[in-house]
Amino acid sequence: MLRYTVHVRGEWLAVPCLNRTNTIRWLGKEAVRRYMKNKPDNGGFASVEEVKFYIRRCKGLGLLDLDDTVEDALEDNEFVEVVIEGDIMSPDFIPSQPEGVHLYSKYREPEQYISLDGNSLTTEDLVNLGKGLYKIKLTPEAEAKVNQSREVIERIVKEQTVVYGITTGFGKFARTVIPNSKLRELQVNLVRSHSAGNEKFLDASLFCCSWYGSGLVTERVPLSGVGKPLSPERSRMLLALRINVLAKGYSGISLETLQQVIEAFNASCLPYIPEKGTVGASGDLAPLSHLALGLIGEGKMWSPKSGWADAKYVLEAHGLKPITLKPKEGLALINGTQMITSLGCEAVERAGAIARQADIIAALTLEVLKGTTRAFDTDIHAVRPHRGQAEVAFRFRSLLDSDHHPSEIAESHRFCDRVQDAYTMRCCPQVKTTFISFHSNRQVMMVFAERAETISGGNFHGEYPAKALDYLAIGVHELAAISERRIERLCNPSLSELPAFLVTEGGLNSGFMIAHCTAAALVSENKALCHPSSVDSLSTSAATEDHVSMGGWAARKALRVIEHVEQVLAIELLAACQGIEFLRPLRTTTPLEKVYDLVRSVVRPWMKDRFMAPDIEAAHKLLVEQKVSVWEVAKPYIEKYRRELIPESRPISPTAFSLGSLEMNTTVSHDHRHQDEL
């Protein structure tokens, strides 16, 4: 027998279908009939027949033809929505697709697994788990540790020992002892009460439009009271990281419950997790409580199969059961800083990627502005022993070495009278590194199985990941700050020797004038975002949690800073390639020509003014997409230069001083005087 889960005016209804030839219209009427049956006033309708509606899939919001059969149009257990004509969207409704979920339209359940032991997960692994490339399983060692710590909890409950969070209340209620008969209820209440800011309608709603008949229906799409839900990728990362920490075996969670969490992850059943609401002190309590709420079958949940729906229906559609919490397990699920660290890991990965590509873009700009490579001499950077600085200088040499990759542009100005370049070009290696640990167990009550003891500590505090992310934001911001100054040099004819704003017929055309303004605006906004959130603290929980990290905001604003940096560098990439057009027919080095060709494959030269936003977006994609990125094009040349240990070329320049050149000049001068004497 077929069965469908149907959303009608904020309620989810399970509708069985005995006859496969029933139509979509029948399904809608049956759902409305069941909806009216549950309402004292029949939902405001006199009869089912008077209700006019249309039906769409929750996944993708595709409209269904009312005359199609359910067998032809739907899969078994599919989620659909009945939209009643003239209705304003129910305040309880959550859009069936969060932002960016179009990427999940081609989602395929992964076949490969990553084994977690609580200690070996890398940031790259975590990002790949977020993308849905792997499922999760525990190592046998992790399973053994989880079982051992659970045995300690069971002994505490059996002996009725008074232990915080297991047989007592929480926070200010730590001295309130809870009877054994209510220990499970205690954990459920903890999750419910800490899920602050459940999904509700905001005036500042988004709007979505859909076609109904011959008219356009505009509907308000509600947001959470504490922010939009995390994207599927970020929710998967958070859930994977929570599993990784629980696998360490210090939380007291049972192996049965942990396996249920893993099953939900592997099915991509992702609870509604609001992006705001954590102070990063006793863990990320609010977002992790929303995570746990979905796992126990309450609140909202999303999967590629269902879109947004009530959690119990999403779990059921995937053959899963809600978790029944045992003593201590609610606390185990919500007490940690995985919101901070999962977003932080994404920030670290994206910052590293854009930092590598910033070197390539800066090298291209240096070529266009006819700069010198002498500032990247090995000896200069050996004096200041910073590995990152030396690596950046090496990348510049590998891309700009005109003896290894002949550059006609470099040769055209080798004997110019310029003494040195501006800081924005010659100080790139110096202006540029931070890491974040996410393996630590962050629980208020840790279980040490080898000692058969539980200890209340403070590993849940998010201070040091918060500080690391604050530093990361400051560091990566400088990539945009220095990039914006190079864009200014490219656009300013008195500094670049190029047409003003990189366009012909200036005045008639404005060229990159406002693109530079956009970069300046993003850099200015970053300056405010770089104020450290970790310097702030507000006392919470009746002064029990009297010092907090504000790490959640540190993570979210670090990601915003990185996004702005990516966009500024995309503008510089376009400007540098546009500058190349005015230096033709001269060619730059082979790797930089390859970068130019990549950009020109998606953005044509700027011959006259046109709509620029799509060009910036196309260049931005070249910086953030892993398969075809600026870095992937240039990387083979950088690594070949490294492997072949090519001797460093030090081109002669009339403005470069050395004792060797002084001696040579002295010898030449002496020879001239000797000839005059003869």
Query: Would you give the distance in Å from CA 352 to the centre of its chain?
Result: 13
Residue with tokens 């049965």: 256
Residue closest to 64 by CA, chosen among 207, 212, 220: 212
The question of whether 164 is a catalytic residue gets the answer yes
Handedness of CA 393, 518, 511, 626 (dihedral sign): positive
Tokens of 102: 């179009």
Distance (Å, whole) CA 297 – CA 310? 8
313 Cβ partners below 8 Å, 6+ apart?
Answer: 5, 12, 14, 79, 306
Tokens of 109: 């359940």
Residue pair 591/638 in contact by the 8 Å Cβ criterion:
yes
Distance (Å, whole) CA 555 – CA 562? 11
DSSP 220: E
Out of 164, 212, 250, 596, which one is annotated catalytic?
164
SS3 state at 632: helix
Residues in the chain: 678
219 Cβ partners below 8 Å, 6+ apart?
Answer: 88, 89, 207, 208, 209, 210
Q: Give yes or no for a cis peptide into 304 (omega within 30° of 0).
A: no
Residue pair 270/301 in contact by the 8 Å Cβ criterion:
yes
Tokens of 195: 């899920």
Residue closest to 23 by CA, chosen among 66, 76, 52: 66
Residue with tokens 């903890």: 190
Residue closest to 51 by CA, chosen among 81, 28, 18: 28
Residue pair 74/41 in contact by the 8 Å Cβ criterion:
no
Residue closest to 79 by CA, chosen among 290, 321, 323, 303: 303
Query: Would you give the distance in Å from CA 542 to the centre of its chain?
Result: 34
DSSP string of 347-410, one letter each residue: HHHHHHHHHHHHHHHHHHHHHHTT--SGGG-HHHHHHS--HHHHHHHHHHHHHH-TTTS--HHH
446 Cβ partners below 8 Å, 6+ apart?
Answer: 250, 251, 454, 455, 456, 457, 459
Strands 300-303 and 270-271, by their bridges, are: antiparallel
* Torsion-angle region of 615 (φ positive above 0: left; ψ -120 to 50: alpha; else: beta): alpha
SS3 state at 209: strand
Give 586: exposed, middle or buried? Use CB within 10 Å, 0-12, 13-18, 19+. middle
Residue with tokens 């769409």: 56
Residue closest to 131 by CA, chosen among 115, 109, 161, 155: 109
Residue pair 160/135 in contact by the 8 Å Cβ criterion:
no
Tokens of 394: 């090496």
Question: Could you give phi then psi for residue 454, rounded to 5 degrees?
Answer: -110, 140
Residue pair 13/35 in contact by the 8 Å Cβ criterion:
yes
- Residues belonging to the active site: 164
